[in-house]
Amino acid sequence: MGPGGGSGWPLAGTVLVAVATSLVAGGEDCLWYVDRNGSWHPGFDCEFFTFCCGTCHHRYCCRDPLRLITERQQRHCLAF
């Protein structure tokens, strides 16, 4: 048992459920971006159960969580 009389497993389970829920819910926003040609593209919302996917220079909505680009990753793209 850890400090406070409990193990860390309930917390780990809660975090896992929170991450899984956010992935299932989808609805990620695609932030504005500049493509490789220097053209500016406005941001857009993805529908429920879809994610913002792609790269720093090309974004689209999809259902494949392996292609997901998080808003944090998108903001990182803006720094370069």
**Which pLDDT band holds residue 78 (cuts at 50, 70, 90)?**
confident
Average pLDDT over residues 45-65: 95
> In degrees, to the nearest 5, what angle opens at C-alpha 18 toward C-alphas 50 and 46?
15
Q: What pLDDT sits at residue 71? A: 93
- Boundaries of domain holding 73: 27-80
Please check whether residue 21 lies inside any domain of the structure.
no
Please check whether residue 67 lies inside any domain of the structure.
yes
- Number of domains making up the chain: 1
Please check whether residue 48 lies inside any domain of the structure.
yes
Please check whether residue 8 lies inside any domain of the structure.
no
Percent of the chain at pLDDT > 90 equals: 59
Please check whether residue 37 lies inside any domain of the structure.
yes
Instruction: Report the Cα 9 to chain-centroid distance in Å.
Output: 25
Q: How many CA atoms lie within 13 A of 56 on its CB side?
A: 11
**Which pLDDT band holds residue 18 (cuts at 50, 70, 90)?**
very low
Please check whether residue 66 lies inside any domain of the structure.
yes
**Separation of alpha carbons 21 and 27, rounded Å:** 12
